[in-house]
Structure 1
Amino acid sequence: MLAVPALGLLNAFLGFLMLLVSLVLLWWGNAWRKRWKATATVAAVVLFGAVLPPAPQDKTSDTVADADAKARNAGRPVSSPSPRSAAHGKQEPKPTSDPDIPNYRGLRLDKAEERARADGFSTGDHDASDQDKVIWMRSNWTVCFQQADTSSDSARTIDFGAVQAGSPCPARDGGPIPWPRMPDLIGETRKAAQRKLAALDVPSDRTYAATIYGNDALPDTGEYNEWQVCAHDPARRERVTDSTSVTLWLSAPENGCPAQTGDNNGTALLPDNDDDGDPDYLDPFPHDHTRNSTFPDGLTGSSGGSSGSGGSSNSSSGGGGWGGCHSRWC
């Protein structure tokens, strides 16, 4: 019986086999009384249990503890599930120092704050540009930046940096708004200039056309798309904001631009030989001061005969009659 604990110290399996053999020999090959056999059996079992090594603990717990210790030593957040939750098959939330904050950028400020409050944040806001404007109507502002503070679950806050709707976001919070610059449109056709302005988000209803020559006149809308841009306001390299209006000073292709423009827009004059207010290239009678674009229907009151250069003779009996149509509208 003493061999049982001795072998148990060396090897638990051999000790258990020896315990079984000893019990068989004790009860079936021994003349001892039953009371002595029972006492010996209990003693053998107690001795064998005393020399067995302690039962190994849950390997899952050791693995989790090791992983958490390594994470702490490396400065990472502990993210392993606890042994209790692993034993019950439950996944606990993983604690983290940088929680996944929803992205509210690009939303209207009022909508962003509404969603953030629904997500459990208290909100704040400020002008994201260097102009430091006070935000009044949040529906007219757009979120460019957000800064969240989640140091405490009970006091999660988020601060929005916003710009007025239609304004581009600065490169950094508190930086200048990167408004586009006016390109050089001189020499472009009005149609090509309009396309470039549309690319800068300047709508057509804030783009105006005017003649560079004071005595010129624009034809009907759409008929001056091929006219040439001689000057524009704002000038080249000036900022184009969301409220900028643009004026294009134009000239008909056959006239070209005056030698000097700039602040003299609209003061240069095209040749007008008869000094009737119409430039020669538009005047059907450039040598007749009495006929111009304001003459009633281009009709004369003469009673026949030649009616000036380019006129026709339309005599009628009795000496009266119309002098015919001497207008570019005929």
Structure 2
Amino acid sequence: MRLGTLGSGIALATAMVALSAGCSSPLSDGPSSAEPSASTPARLRPDSLSAKIGTEVEKGFGYSVRDATDAGRTVDMRHVDLWRFCLESKGGQPKTVDLGAVPYGEKCPDHWDAHIPEIRTPRVTGKKFENAYQSLLEKGYDSLSIDVLYGSEGVVEQADMPRVDGEVCKQSPKPGAPFDPSENVKLYVAMGNCPKR
């Protein structure tokens, strides 16, 4: 992705908002010990993608971000705090940089598009929704590629995810299926616990 003048401005504004907000999790309705409060500055890991974006923004650079491996995952900028900065190269436009990242839990590759073992869909059936959703995000799934069907309401919009509270009764693709960046994950969530079979 190449950023023009408008794109650089949007990227700068987005990064500043994300950094000033402390990259808080949209899954929480209130403060938790893992999230910084309004009076506490966010503590970023030195290798965090958020920190690297902030550094580039302070230098007046635009940036693009992508998976540093050959997995083809979309770096989820809504959950940038789950990604580790690994690689950078000069961008295609003046004063731009391309950043490569992987989810925490994976080692950084030593070069762009490095081959990694096949990513498998984790088993999230039977888990509370919030834990299941977090497991998928930590594997590198993009939040916009996770469809949540809640009770009888149908697909839940991204903005309404914090109100989902229940157990994942079914998932697609099945646990252990190979990661496919073109395929959405579907989580079928009960309002409460799944019905006993």
For the aligned pair, the TM-score class normalised by the smaller chain equals 0.3 to 0.5
TM-score between the two structures when normalised by the length of structure 1: 0.24
Higher strand residue share? 2
TM-score between the two structures when normalised by the length of structure 2: 0.39
- Structure with larger RCO (C-alpha < 8 A, sep 6+): 2
Larger Rg: 1
